[in-house]
Amino acid sequence: MVLPLLEEKQPCYLLYRLDSKNNLGYQWIFISWSPDFSPVRQKMLYAATRATLKLEFGGGLIKEEMFGTSIDDVNLSGYKKHLTSGSAPAPLTFAETELKLIKENDVNTISVNDKHQHMTGVSFPVSDEAVRKLEELRDGKITYVQLSLDIPAEKINLEMADNTDITSLASRVPDESARYHVFTYKHTHEGDYTESIVFIYSMPGYKCSIKERMLYSSCKSPLISKIESLGIEITKKLEVDDPKELSEENVYDEIHPKKNVATKKFDKPKGPAGRGPRRMAKT
């Protein structure tokens, strides 16, 4: 049933449900199919989005992972060899070596708020028009730029650019498709006027296809690097699935987190009067 789904020169992912269960539900085999003669660009794209797919699907549900470049790697015989290789320290095949390298690359997948790690991701080129508008934002001529992925063309395009204030920011976010937003938030903090540039990745949950979610997630980090290379200093990176999260109160609190109020020191009650001098206990 599985093999007829594979195309000779087209990479793909396959998820095959097992009868076994864990505390999360049925367990699955995750198969990465990347035939030898498929286009290099396709191979790179699938390798870069693999970790995102696992994250979306639920890594705890995946019991076995296989990587195949030929039918022999993913047929029943190949699966049995995979199980054998997992229980014995045998030399790795070419496919197993490639899978090992991909797994090692998975640790680079992070959320947009993590400043301590780096994700290479998929680097789609940014259109000239989008770059011009980002430069205008950098120079203070506009306050808002919205970008989208052109998946068939493998490019990042400009959707809109204008002067937007915080009260109308949420209305700019589409509720049916993912977007990237770069916004200059003008406000006062502790009496001082300030401008903070915020990068926002909006993804309306499961209204988008898995492929769209994977690509937007994988292209995010390289896009941020591109924006910063234009001399735009990003103060805060946000990820939202509902435009309502972009209220002025929420954005302000993300940029200026509330400080913890120091708790008042508890004064130990005085002992009864006339009980004599306090004794020192040595331990």
Per-residue pLDDT reduced to its tens digit, 94-144: 455 555 555 554 444 434 344 333 445 678 999 999 999 999 999 999 999
Q: Is residue 283 part of a domain?
A: no
- Write down which residue in 87, 109, 137 finishes a domain: 87
**Strands (DSSP E) along the chain, which ranges?**
12-22, 25-33, 62-68, 144-150, 155-162, 179-189, 192-202, 236-240
Roughly what angle, to the nearest 10 degrees, separates helices 94-106 and 40-57?
A: 60
- Write down which residue in 87, 111, 136 finishes a domain: 87
Q: Is residue 17 part of a domain?
A: yes
Range of the domain at 150: 128-255
64-95 residue pLDDT tens: 888 888 888 888 888 888 888 765 554 455 45
Q: What is the pTM of this model?
A: 0.60
How many domains would you assign to the chain? 2
Q: Is residue 53 part of a domain?
A: yes
- Write down which residue in 37, 64, 87 finishes a domain: 87
Based on the fold, state whether residues 68 and 164 are members of the same structural domain: no
Per-residue confidence (pLDDT) for residue 212, from 0 to 100: 87
Based on the fold, state whether residues 156 and 250 are members of the same structural domain: yes
Based on the fold, state whether residues 148 and 249 are members of the same structural domain: yes
Instruction: Give pairs for 256-260: CB < 8 Å, separation 24+.
Output: 256/189
| Chain-centre distance for alpha carbon 94 | 29
Q: Is the pLDDT of residue 7 over 80?
A: yes
Q: Is residue 229 part of a domain?
A: yes
- Answer whether 171's CB lies under 8 Å from 247's CB: no
Based on the fold, state whether residues 64 and 179 are members of the same structural domain: no
Q: Which pair of structure tokens corresponds to residue 54? A: 């696992």
Q: What is the CATH number of the domain that holds 213?
A: 3.40.20.10
Based on the fold, state whether residues 245 and 132 are members of the same structural domain: yes
